[in-house]
Amino acid sequence: MTEKEIEKKYFTLTNDETGESYKLPVIEGTLGPSVIDVRKLYAQSGYFTFDPSFTSTGSCKSRLTFIDGEKGILLHRGYTIEELTEKSSFLEVCHLLLYGDLPNQNELDEFTKNIKYHTMVNEQINYFFRGFRRDAHPMAIMCGVVGALSAFYHDSLDIYDKRQREISAHRLLAKIPTLAAMTYKYNIGQPFMYPRNDLNYAENFLYMCFGVPAEEYKPNPVLAKAMDRIFILHADHEQNASTSTVRLAGSSYANPFACIAAGIASLWGPSHGGANQAVLEMLSEIGSKDKIPEFLERAKDKNDPFRLMGFGHRVYKNYDPRAGVLRESCHEVLEELGVKNEPRLELAMELERIALEDPYFVERKLFPNVDFYSGIILNAMGFPTNMFTVLFAVARTVGWISQWKEMVEEPTLRIGRPRQLYTGPTKRPYVDINERK
């Protein structure tokens, strides 16, 4: 069905002052609430809509990801996140997001070959790293080096060329783990490890992070599986802050490397991808189970900026299906590593139990989100807390680039340009500096 055929329903808006009515088309998707098309409202009525933080505004049409926050459902191209994490691999999910379908064996082999072909980065990028202080936050380095890719791969910057768009997408998927691992190695003063294409995506990433030239590295299959699962769980999440940032940056026809760097900057914040780091820092701050009530009271106090990190979600108001999968993975990883009675996991579980019984959290439908458990697993694997958001960025790159590709391929693409409600001073005469009070 085309959009025109669907646009048979209307929503009528009446101005109480003038009595004038405006007929606004209703557009239906395949799942989820329909939307009221307000594109012509200003021309008809002289009014814009007001929706700060875009809590009620659909900014695009997308075929990639569907979330039902009330029911705790997350689908990628129609497949549930539970099935994908159980049965698929990250590269299969990348193919699904980028091209629309799960690959058959030949397609997967071809796609894997294409990604592996691009895993190395231009050798000159090594020198680019050296401009950073060793103690720079890894996300600060990532914002810089990913943006810098546009200075290295001039042959895939023409966004009007389908093949160049595809090569850029493959390059980003292939090089982001290499850059993330280099960031970690740079921080700890160890030599960069070149990628190994005999390993799978997750194994290679763990090798580049934890391998050293002096010793042979054998990937641990349980940890590699858990890493792959973490990548799948973070692959895409429809129009969140970083994805919307990528789309808005790309709507001006900026090149994809620059757009993904913009997404990384947005992801960094503690309300978004930075929450996994914040969860571990919070658990360390709480320290012991007897302190939980004190911190819960602080989280409820509106005069205290403290929030329970890893709790709550803009869309999920029942449970975050990603958190359930990670909770399970968390136990598997800790068992594999022989970590018994991990104090932070015990503290996290107790915090979860008490918070879920507390009327404040129950009434506001605040449940653990994906970040509540990911930090504990990543920490057990050996990643320092400041690397957690980088791992989120590695996984989310496929979502960002798929959303970017979908947008650029939309024939009606126009530069994004939100409106505003101006509340500043009205026009006033300029005051000379000698006359200012």
Q: Of 5-13, 110-118, 134-142, 366-374, which segment contacts ligand CMC by CB under 6 A?
A: 366-374
Can 371 be counted among the known catalytic residues?
A: yes
- 271 binds ligand CMC, rule: CB under 6 A: yes
Nearer to ligand CMC by Cβ, of 234 and 405: the residue is 234
- Under rule CB under 6 A, residue 298 binds ligand CMC: no
Main-chain phi, psi angles of 50, to 5 degrees:
-120, 120
351 contributes a contact to ligand CMC by CB under 6 A: no
Kindly tell me which residue out of 236, 342, 371, 406 binds ligand CMC, with binding defined by CB under 6 A: 371
Q: Which of 228, 234, 313, 358 is catalytic?
A: 313
| Minimum gap (Å) between residue 372 Cβ and ligand CMC | 7
- Among 228, 236, 320, 371, the one annotated catalytic: 371
Among 65, 88, 187, 369, binds ligand CMC (CB under 6 A): 369
Q: Is 396 in the site for ligand CMC (CB under 6 A)?
A: no
Under a CB-based contact definition with an 8 Å cutoff, are residues 251 and 415 in contact? yes
CA 67, 72, 77, 82 dihedral sign is positive
Residues of this chain, 309-328, that bind ligand CMC according to CB under 6 A:
309-314
285 binds ligand CMC (CB under 6 A): no
Contact flag: residue 67 with ligand CMC (CB under 6 A): no
Q: Answer yes or no: 95 catalytic.
A: no
The conformation of residue 310, written as its DSSP 8-state character, comes to T
Among 77, 95, 225, 237, binds ligand CMC (CB under 6 A): 237
Distance CA 336, CA 357 (A): 31
Q: 3-class DSSP state for residue 7?
A: coil
For Cα atoms 427, 429, 435, give the angle at the middle one, nearest 5 degrees: 140
Candidates 161-169, 265-273, 332-340, 411-419: pick the segment binding ligand CMC (CB under 6 A).
Answer: 265-273
Phi, psi values for residue 9, rounded to 5°: -95, 150
Neighbour-count burial of 166, counting CB atoms closer than 10 A to its CB (0-12 exposed, 13-18 middle, 19+ buried): middle
Rule CB under 6 A: say whether 157 interacts with ligand CMC.
no
Q: What are phi and psi of 26, to 5 degrees?
A: -105, 130
Q: Which is nearer to ligand CMC, 275 or 398 (CB)?
A: 275
Count of other CB atoms within 10 angstroms of residue 332:
15
Own/partner contacts of 194-197, CB < 8 Å, gap of 24 or more, are 194/120, 195/119, 195/120, 197/116, 197/119
Among all residues, whose Cβ is closest to ligand CMC? Answer: 312
Residues assigned a catalytic role:
313, 371
Q: Which residues bind ligand CMC (CB under 6 A)?
A: 237, 240, 271-273, 275, 299, 307-314, 364, 366, 369-371
